[in-house]
Structure 1
Amino acid sequence: MDPRQEADCRATSSTAPGDDDDDGPKIIIHPGISDKEKKSVDNRQKRILGMLQKLDIKTSKAPVVAVLGSGGGLRAAIACQGVLGELNHVGILDLTTYLAGVSGSTWCMSSLYVRKNWQDHLAEAEEELKVRLQEGSWNPGTALKGIQEAARRSENFSLTDIWQYTLVYYMTKELLGSSLSEVRTRSEEGEVPYPIFAAIDNSLLSEWNEKKSLETWFEFTPHVAGYPLPGAYVRTTHFGSKFNGGKLIKKEKEKDFAYLRALWGSALADKETTQRTIQQFIWSFLSQQDIKKVSMSATYECSDEHDAESYMLSLKEKLSSLEDEHEDRSEQSFSLREMYGSFSFGMLPVLQSLFTWTWGSTNNFLYQHEGLKDKPLDGMESKEKLHLMDAGLAINSPYPLVLPPVRNTQLILSFDFSEGDPFETIKTTAEYCSAHGIPFPELDVAKLNQEAEAPSDFYIFEGKEGPVVMHFPLFNKVNCGSRENISNMAKTYKTFQLGNYSQEDVHQLLELSKANVKNNKEKIMEKIRALAKEAPPAEK
């Protein structure tokens, strides 16, 4: 081992969140949030307090407002862009402390947070989005190169790597090379809302299904990544590195946003739909693309046995023969296992991950850690690998990450871009809170069920304790009109959008999402004013 790495290992220890002043590979086993997040939030609150004073709102303490974006694939990514743009336009984004997302909303968030001063350039980001989502922005050679390189270099290769370079890249037309830790400075200075990206531990999904337990959830912030319950984190810069007993064994390169947004958005539907879609996409990608164009645009280094063009031409011939053999079979019955023997060595890890249905494989930073005894994650130390997935498999909105008392959230602006029931996220959250004694507003579930097919654009839920929740369904009777139009919008903007939206389609979806903010901005500001006045009066 490199002596410098040995020194790092000796310096590594489990520490409280406050002991994170350097960027060493420390693991944090402690409830609460890191001191760096506290610093970020404090600086953000000072900025918000200044904005409230400019609005002639007298208060000594700014209320903590969290904006939540749900999942929903490309539909959610576009709609989230529209919501943030309009929140910024009407001045509410300046009053927001936290911005948290699941799945498709994290695609939008990550695309914005890599920009400097992104809050000042949201209009430009919208125009760029309209252009980027057109067909010419997708490069199959880049996708092929990425998959093969990931398969060669990563001992934790999984479907998430395939998802990164196929579906996520294909839909967003974007591969972000920046990393989450690069967002730290702007977060710490309070320039932007503090971001929280949601995932879940797939091995603990049964715990969620049975007990609605927070331990299933895994969060990413610019400073740490880990389990909010019981409070077990690793520095974001060291997520994916290999640890043993709390000591760094092998430092891995920090995961970039391209990989993380595939991890956060790795299950846009149920397993059967996702599996079928991946199979169809890869079949189409490998057997129907212009192979000459693909092979010439790929810039990867080939092995001695194959050059790019001969490799792809050979693969094309074998896929074509298989296509003829199976042309009479339905798409659902087609099995990639039958293609296994026909692929070259470089594609074997791809098919292996498909057959085993392995997602989000990464080194477990808690492996052999002794600090988990008598804690909710007791037993996690025996696992060498973690398998992280889309949090939408639990709740398609990151409520559990902003509800803990340590974040002191007073107002939640929940923008729901889900497919299907527009109230499913808030109903599941209410069940979760009820199971664990967490203050949350009571819901009239029967009424919400009646309105699900034609919801309003705004709902407010309040209780004696806990946060006020404002809920905004994407397609509603205010911005869409009739129930028929709502249904048509849902069909137009599917979660699995494998075609290309026109610029007009993107513009329409942006405007629909903006309308939900524009039409309710006074109601939001009214509640922010009320919460601000509940704080002790400002000292003269």
Structure 2
Amino acid sequence: MNTISPSTFYKEEASNYELTVRIIKAQNIHGTDIVSKPDCYVCLWLPTSLSDRKRTKTIWNNANPDWDETFHFRIHSQVKNILELSMHDEDVGTADDHLFTVCYDLGNVPLNENVVENFTLNKEFQEELQVEFNLTIIPESQKKVTTNGVLVCPEMVALEIEVQKQRKELFKKKTELALTVRGSFEQSHRILLHPEACHVLNSRETAVFHFPRDLGTEMTAALCRVYSSFDVTFTNDTENDGSNHTTVPLSLISPTENYIDVQVPAIEGNPMGMQIKLNECPEKLDVRLGFDLCEKEKIFLQKRRKLVSNTLKKVLQLEEDLLGEEIPVVAIMATGGGARAMACLYSHLYAIQNMGLLDCVTYIASASGSTWTTSKLYEDPNWSHNKLSEAINNVKKHVTKNKIGIFSMDRLKYYRKELQQATIDGQKTSFTDLWGLMLESMLNIGRNESRLSDQQAALDNGQNPLPLYLAMNVKHNTISTLDFKEWCEFTPYEVGLLKYGASIRTEDYGSEFYMGRLMKKHPEPRICFLQGLWGNVFSLNLVDTWYLTTQLDTFWDTWVKDRIKDIDKEDIRVRRESAHTKTRLFTPSGIFSRVWKGVLTNRPIDGEQHNFLKGLYLHKDYHQQSQFTTWKDSNLDSFPNRLTPLADNLCLVDAGYFINASFPPLLRPQRKVDVIISFDYTLDTPLQAVEQTCNYCTTQGIGFPKVSLSDEERKTHRECYVFNDDDNNNCPIVLHFPLVNDTFKKFKEPGVLRSAEEMSDGNVDVTGAFSPYFLTNFTYSERDFDRLMKLTQYNLANNRELILDALHTAVQRRKARNLSPEIKQTEAQKKI
């Protein structure tokens, strides 16, 4: 692999291979039938080849079936190719029984050698499947592909088809031309050919298909009858018996050739003619492949540094200006917590502003309910330089107002109209979008037209911190969040999946992509739809609920974990390079377990979005790329066929379902964050999120200070915790502010005791079961709201010195890090 910075994309030499797979035989197969021997067949699925699923014939009533059938695939040398071989027991009248699936890395097959593998399906019964593989290079197929070390984008071409409409008398009945290109973005086109539409001899219609040039596919064209009944039109494809369609292998056509004539056998009369041509597509991608920050964020950071430097010099009373890399990066991290998190973040930002520290902050990361605050604030391009007391008064009106109106008939009609329009605009609407519209009604006056990309205006001059919003990509069903989740980051500039190093412009979120290109532009969704996605408290499945309430994830393993094991033999281990994945055997569970698993892991209320990774492939060495390994944290990361690039849609949910915090965007090494001011709005477990983050980062090898708490510290919560790793200057200093009521009970301001009449104002219940700030409460009394604001502002002001100390330490570390080796040595000698 090219030795180049992992933050960039680059070109890599690639070839195409011809793969031959011969299914030889199996032995000692035990089917599910008690009274008879199994009726076995084998299915082959290689999703990276664009081929349909292939299958052998069925060998009836035989425990030792002998097939000796050969299949061919065209594959790409730089792509991770995993062949799935599944064995089934055919049943008449009922669904076939799935016995086994073997996942085999084709990187184990050397070029120009026949390799015979005996896959052990069951050691106890000596069940085996014997398969022969052969791999040859396709001559003159070498090309350069674009990759970032994790994803690969092969060359794209466009198939242009021109259809000349026939004379009226050639079609006595309505006829349709069905065009299909497997593995293309468009998949199929249908062109109506009927007497009314075909009165002009030389009129033409065109159809275009976009697909990967090097992976070998074909175009199929067929004529079908079209029937109408009671204003319903349908096509009868069953009339196609193979005599009235034609298939063209597209790998045989060169993009440099002129139009090629193709004849489609007609249902009646003469064959229908059309012309096809391949056109090369521009190399420029609309998906940014790379782990570095985007250019707009880099420009923002340059502008923001000047303001941060001046503010730090003032608040820390420094004698000299901070320049360049001497300027520390300070970030705010906010957890979720519904309306409680939204209100508290307003209050905390107001307190930071009053302390003169808001212009020291470069990033504000939020998740779940706290995203409702930042997404509203950034409607004002100059919000951090206006007094935030006005914003707090505004949110107070919404939090304290009666919410019954969101269920009025007028609002329900409005929701329906908006969802219908969103569908027309290309969104995949769901309950998540309805929840977003309900939030809009609760938190705004009237319709909110703003969009996430509009927030760029608040960053043009570096005048505000850069907002980072966090969500998670999960599987819609069959897999819990614990077993599969991928961090998805939203900024006013880009939306990206951290693990894959792939991002799109925020303006293009919700549009359809293929092979890194923007294929179908849809309007960017309004901010309320994103608020519903980021803060959707209704997308939990039962396993997620169990984990969040108990923090135990082993109870359900028997029911929801797949039975998978490594079946590599020694000769494969010797032959396999370190980059190749293990050969794995999947044994499906029984019907009861499958039904129970579906109940536990299905997400009845969530939404799916267009997958902007669609059409990209995983690099053959993807799981060795350092950036990918930093963020991979599930078993599925070793199963490329089940990862996001091969998924049709994204399933984005509230990030709080795993860890109720928004740390991940701030821990990207490219952002170089030195100090994180962590605001935790959890009621009962205010230290849980930071402990979970520490454990997660330790496992993943991400720099994060050690969080070690005694049992007593977990019982009695302080207003502020400082977590710092003196031995690792690359770890950020974390100042963690839980939502607690400690000295506020006696002090109304730092150092100012309450009078006897004011003692009741200090009784703010943020821990009890009957706290007015529970998660699903969206309406507070004015008194409860005001007391919550005063509590959070007091806690921050009471620990101002801890914040200043952390900023001092960050400045010293930055200065020490930027000293030349000679100066460092001199300074060390002075200390000695």
Aligned equivalents of 1:417 and 1:411: distance in 2? 19
Q: Once the 2 structures are TM-superposed, how far is the Cα of residue 438 of structure 1 from its aligned partner?
A: 1.7
Aligned equivalents of 2:429 and 2:491: distance in 1? 23
**2:802 is aligned with 1:523:** yes
Aligned equivalents of 1:393 and 1:142: distance in 2? 33
Q: Once the 2 structures are TM-superposed, how far is the Cα of residue 452 of structure 1 from its aligned partner?
A: 3.6
Match of 1:495 in 2: 775
Q: Once the 2 structures are TM-superposed, how far is the Cα of residue 52 of structure 1 from its aligned partner?
A: 2.1
Report how many aligned residue pairs link the two structures.
Answer: 439
TM-score where L is the length of structure 1? 0.74
TM-aligned CA distance change 1:189 to 1:10, over 3 Å: farther
Q: Once the 2 structures are TM-superposed, how far is the Cα of residue 10 of structure 1 from its aligned partner?
A: 5.5
Please give the per-residue CA displacement for 1:20-50, whole angstroms capped at 9, x wherever unaligned. xxxxxx2111112111111112211111112
Structure of higher CA gyration radius: 2
Which one scores higher on RCO, CA 8 angstroms, separation ≥ 6? 1
**2:444 is aligned with 1:197:** no
Please give the per-residue CA displacement for 1:391-428, whole angstroms capped at 9, x wherever unaligned. 00121111111112111011110000013211111111
Please give the per-residue CA displacement for 1:8-28, whole angstroms capped at 9, x wherever unaligned. x966733xxxxxxxxxxx211
**2:293 is aligned with 1:50:** no
Match of 2:534 in 1: 264
Aligned equivalents of 1:73 and 1:185: distance in 2? 27
TM-aligned CA distance change 1:473 to 1:233, over 3 Å: same
TM-aligned CA distance change 1:245 to 1:203, over 3 Å: same
Counterparts of residues 229-268 of structure 1 (less than 5 Å): 229-267=499-537
Q: Secondary structure at the match of 1:456?
A: coil
Shifted more, 266-275 versus 223-232: the winner is 266-275
Match of 2:268 in 1: none
Shifted more, 143-152 versus 60-69: the winner is 143-152
Aligned equivalents of 2:283 and 2:430: distance in 1? 29
Aligned equivalents of 1:106 and 1:69: distance in 2? 8
TM-aligned CA distance change 1:260 to 1:428, over 3 Å: same
Aligned equivalents of 1:126 and 1:31: distance in 2? 37
Q: Secondary structure at the match of 1:516?
A: helix
Q: Secondary structure at the match of 1:38?
A: helix
Match of 1:117 in 2: 382
Match of 1:221 in 2: 491
Match of 1:455 in 2: 717
TM-aligned CA distance change 1:267 to 1:409, over 3 Å: same
**2:482 is aligned with 1:209:** yes
Aligned equivalents of 1:497 and 1:258: distance in 2? 19
Aligned equivalents of 1:223 and 1:38: distance in 2? 11
Q: Percent identity?
A: 28
TM-aligned CA distance change 1:490 to 1:73, over 3 Å: farther
Q: Once the 2 structures are TM-superposed, how far is the Cα of residue 98 of structure 1 from its aligned partner?
A: 0.6
Match of 2:449 in 1: 177
Match of 1:336 in 2: none
Counterparts of residues 73-472 of structure 1 (less than 5 Å): 73-119=338-384, 120-135=386-401, 138-139=405-406, 140-141=408-409, 143-153=411-421, 154=423, 156-166=428-438, 168-169=439-440, 171-173=442-444, 176-203=448-475, 209-210=482-483, 216-267=486-537, 270-271=540-541, 357-370=604-617, 374-375=621-622, 376=628, 378=640, 379-445=643-709, 447=710, 449-463=711-725, 464-465=727-728, 466-472=731-737
Q: Secondary structure at the match of 2:376?
A: helix
**2:298 is aligned with 1:38:** yes
Give the aligned CA root-mean-square deviation in angstroms.
3.2
Aligned equivalents of 2:505 and 2:614: distance in 1? 15
Match of 2:553 in 1: none
Aligned equivalents of 1:151 and 1:273: distance in 2? 30
The answer to whether the 8 A contact 2:333-2:366 is kept is yes
Gaps of 5+ in 2: 1-185, 187-205, 210-279, 546-601, 623-627, 629-636, 747-761, 820-832
Q: Once the 2 structures are TM-superposed, how far is the Cα of residue 536 of structure 1 from its aligned partner?
A: 3.1
Match of 2:288 in 1: 28
Gaps of 5+ in 1: 15-25, 276-354
Q: Once the 2 structures are TM-superposed, how far is the Cα of residue 454 of structure 1 from its aligned partner?
A: 3.6
Please give the per-residue CA displacement for 1:218-271, whole angstroms capped at 9, x wherever unaligned. 000011001112311111000110112222221111112111111000127854
Q: Once the 2 structures are TM-superposed, how far is the Cα of residue 123 of structure 1 from its aligned partner?
A: 1.3
Q: Once the 2 structures are TM-superposed, how far is the Cα of residue 478 of structure 1 from its aligned partner?
A: 2.6
The answer to whether the 8 A contact 2:339-2:399 is kept is no
Q: Once the 2 structures are TM-superposed, how far is the Cα of residue 488 of structure 1 from its aligned partner?
A: 4.2
Shifted more, 176-185 versus 145-154: the winner is 145-154
Please give the per-residue CA displacement for 1:184-209, whole angstroms capped at 9, x wherever unaligned. 13224211001100000022996862
What amino acid is the match of 2:653?
Answer: M
What amino acid is the match of 2:334?
Answer: G
Q: Once the 2 structures are TM-superposed, how far is the Cα of residue 96 of structure 1 from its aligned partner?
A: 0.4
The answer to whether the 8 A contact 1:419-1:490 is kept is no
Q: Once the 2 structures are TM-superposed, how far is the Cα of residue 372 of structure 1 from its aligned partner?
A: 5.6
Aligned equivalents of 1:27 and 1:89: distance in 2? 41
The answer to whether the 8 A contact 1:443-1:461 is kept is yes
The answer to whether the 8 A contact 1:179-1:256 is kept is yes
Relative to its length, the structure with more strand (as a share) is 2
- For residue 512 of structure 1, the aligned residue among 780, 791, 802 is 791
Q: Secondary structure at the match of 2:525?
A: coil
Aligned equivalents of 2:668 and 2:436: distance in 1? 31
Aligned equivalents of 2:288 and 2:360: distance in 1? 30
Q: Once the 2 structures are TM-superposed, how far is the Cα of residue 535 of structure 1 from its aligned partner?
A: 3.0
